[in-house]
A and B are shown apart, each in its own frame.
Chain A
Amino acid sequence: MPSPPDRGQRVDGCEGPDCLERVHAACEALWRDVPDVDGTDRLLFETAVVELVGNAVEHAPGPGGSTVLLGASADALWVEVRAPGPPVEVDLDAPLPPDDAPSGRGIPLVRRTTDTLTLTREQGVNVWRAVRSLTAPRRFAGGGPAQVP
């Protein structure tokens, strides 16, 4: 099990497609905070994050919007998307759709860019969690106080 995050970012009130811009900004802030994370790990993790947030704002637009938590630990990147609204049923093991399908690649893409993906229902909220293990552990992790929102 990867170690828990010691650095993080948080986006509240995430509603509508425009929230993706805020999530990209949060990722950029996280990368500034953990410059020792490999570039490929960054771009694949951010790919997963955007898919999860896009899925949340598109399919479960609950009151108050979603909360997005991003974290980095010594050996992994973490994302949690808390999306209020009715329960969603998603096949996390869905295969890639046919080549000419315009949609259906989001969850398979998350599965291919992260090591674990879970969806749980907690106190009326759909909670998506994904973790990507780092290709190489961070060199400077744990050097200061934990800064996780």
Chain B
Amino acid sequence: MDVRRELPSPTTAVLTPVGRLTMTAAGIFTAAVERTLAQGHVRVVVDLAETTFLDSSGLGALVGGLRRARERGGDLRIARAGEQVRAVLTLTTMDRVLRPYGSVDDALAP
């Protein structure tokens, strides 16, 4: 899995995991979030449009990223989640915490 990164402003970032965000890739994603936060981009949007599959390890990586972003005064939001990702969020009730936004622009809005 690759994680693409765009930096729309000095405090925001859009991370796009491409492929399956599972146990295999959770560490890669977590490292990308850490690096982004450390560079001051504390408002992170994770664009899930190209994330084809999410498991509990990948969900854990999102939860960890959210916690670390908030520790730095920022936030982590998710956008454009597909059917399988939405199902995992709903079945674990984590859609209350990681509310799926319909678009990256909506998620980037203050």
- Interface residues of A, Cβ cutoff 8 Å to B: 17-18, 20-21, 24, 39-40, 43-44, 46-47, 50-51, 54, 57-58, 96, 99-103, 105-106, 108-109, 112-113
Contacts and interface: CB of A to CB of B under 8 A. Distances in A.
**Overall SS of chain A's interface:** helix
Contacts of B63: 99-102
B24 A20 contact: yes
A50 B91 contact: no
B45 interface: no
Given A17-B22, A112-B91, 17 more contacts: A17-B24, A21-B24, A43-B87, A46-B53, A47-B55, A54-B57, A58-B23, A96-B93, A99-B94, A101-B63, A102-B64, A103-B56, A105-B92, A106-B57, A108-B92, A109-B92, A113-B91
Interface of B: 20, 22-24, 53, 55-57, 59-61, 63-64, 67, 83-84, 87-88, 91-94, 96-97
Most chain A CB neighbours (cut-off 10 Å) among B57, B94, B97: B57
Contacts of B56: 51, 54, 103, 105-106, 109
B23 A24 contact: no
Contacts of B97: 99
A43 B84 contact: yes
Contact of A54 (B23, B67, B84): B23
Nearest to A54: B23
A99 B96 CA distance: 9
Given A99-B96, A100-B63, A54 B55 contact: yes
B55 A24 contact: no
Nearest to B27: A17
Nearest to A111: B91
A17 B92 contact: no
A100 B67 contact: yes
Nearest to B54: A47
In the complex, the 9 A-B pairs of residues with the closest C-beta atoms, listed nearest first:
A102-B60, A106-B56, A105-B56, A17-B24, A112-B91, A43-B84, A54-B23, A102-B64, A17-B23
